[in-house]
Amino acid sequence: MWRQFTFSVVDNLADPLSDALSELGALSVSLEDDGDQPLFEPKPGETPLWRTTRVTGLFEAGVDASAVRAALASQFSAEVLASLVVSELADQVWERAWLEHFKPMRFGERLWVCPSGFELPDPDAVNIILDPGLAFGTGTHPTTALCLEWLATQSLEGKTVIDYGCGSGILAVAALKLGAARALGVDLDPQALTASAENARKNGVDDRLTLFLPGQLGQVMADVLVANILAGPLIGLADILSMRLTMGGTIALSGILAGQAPEVARAYQACMALLPPVQREDWVLLSGRKVAD
């Protein structure tokens, strides 16, 4: 058993409270959204917090809750202490607990994403083995699902694919499993590159995946480019991404809210013939073919 101390605080108190819990012996401290406020991808160096943040400190079961509360009372207001909820947490096999929420998923007619430990639903299909890990991207989010379904419809045999904003590497790995000759993953987060390399290794395609930070890509051109990031970065990167694509090459852009699609489309329309957006929940995917430099 473990004992959890959970608080609901404004964003500027989250870090001081986290530090205080650690100093009092917390084995771990986690920060979560406590007000249903989405935080999209931050800029490099930014670590934004939610306006109302849930701070949870995990202690050993025998910790003296009264002593912890008294120590915190000397540093924080009565309002912070009033939000405290102390609860017991049963131990379990944590590294497998996520399996309750992550099951094999199919994208299109021939592509499956399966967590390790599951029997493959269709051994003859294109199967990607992927577990939640260091970086975003398991196929459960609509933007990732849209990109996987798009890739599953493409003719990728012998082609070079760029996965810009690769996260977990799921799209690059999918492209290689679907027949691409070579894939290049780009991400500004070194942890994403680590996760991508590990997922490529798990799926036996690491010899055909090369990973880069954004400034390291050089002059490489691709036949297919997929970028699952956000509308703002997609607009800002329009010239760079367009130049990476060979004439006649195909592109897929996602991470775009439905209302943002027209603005993103305008940023690419000078050199891309774009198809109507494909929507899943509140998110859309834009795809097309390069027709001009």
Q: Which long-range contacts (CB under 8 A, 24 or more apart) does 210-217 make?
A: 210/182, 210/183, 210/184, 210/185, 211/166, 211/169, 211/184, 211/185, 211/186, 211/187, 212/184, 212/185, 212/186, 213/186, 213/187, 213/188, 214/186, 214/187, 214/188, 217/184, 217/186, 217/244
Same domain, 26 and 108: no
Q: Beta strand pairing status for 278-280 and 222-228?
A: unpaired
pLDDT in tens, 62-99: 999 999 999 999 999 999 999 999 999 887 655 555 55
**161-181 mean pLDDT:** 95
Of 45-59, 84-98, 108-122, 202-216, least confident by mean pLDDT is 84-98
The pLDDT confidence band at residue 48, using thresholds 50, 70 and 90, is: confident
The pLDDT confidence band at residue 259, using thresholds 50, 70 and 90, is: very high
pLDDT recorded at residue 99: 58
What residues form DSSP beta bridges with 224?
Answer: 161, 250
Residue 100 φ/ψ, nearest 5 degrees: -65, -25
Of 91-100, 133-142, 158-167, 274-283, least confident by mean pLDDT is 91-100
Same domain, 43 and 174: no
Count of structural domains within the chain:
2
Torsion, Cα of 277, 278, 281, 284 (10° steps): -50
CA distance 231 to 24: 42
CA distance 172 to 180: 9
Domain termination residue (choose one: 62, 91, 120): 91
Same domain, 107 and 252: yes
Same domain, 74 and 125: no
Domain termination residue (choose one: 91, 117, 132): 91
Task: Give me the chain's average pLDDT, please.
Answer: 90
pLDDT recorded at residue 76: 96
CA distance 113 to 258: 26
pLDDT in tens, 188-202: 989 889 999 999 999
Same domain, 65 and 192: no
pLDDT recorded at residue 175: 97
Exposure string over 93-128, b if 16+ CB within 10 A, otherwise e: eeeeeeeeebebbbbbeebbbbbeeeeeeeeebbbb
Same domain, 118 and 192: yes
CA distance 273 to 236: 19
Distances (CA, A) of 33 to 47, 211, 248: 14, 32, 43
pLDDT recorded at residue 91: 73
CATH number of the domain encompassing residue 39: 3.30.70
Give percent of the chain with pLDDT exceeding 90: 71
Residues contacting residue 32 through CB under 8 Å, at least 6 positions apart: 50, 53, 54, 56
Residue 49 has pLDDT above 90, yes or no: no
Full residue range of the structural domain in which residue 63 is found: 2-91
The pLDDT confidence band at residue 215, using thresholds 50, 70 and 90, is: confident
Question: CB–CB of 152/170 below 8 Å?
Answer: no
**147-170 mean pLDDT:** 95
Give percent of the chain with pLDDT exceeding 70: 90
Mark residue 191 as left, alpha or beta (left: phi above 0; alpha: psi -120 to 50; beta: remaining).
Answer: alpha
Of 7-11, 43-47, 176-180, 289-293, least confident by mean pLDDT is 43-47
Same domain, 128 and 212: yes
The pLDDT confidence band at residue 246, using thresholds 50, 70 and 90, is: very high
**21-33 mean pLDDT:** 93
**217-245 mean pLDDT:** 94
Question: CB–CB of 205/128 below 8 Å?
Answer: no
Domain termination residue (choose one: 91, 122, 156): 91
Same domain, 14 and 140: no
Same domain, 30 and 111: no
Same domain, 79 and 212: no
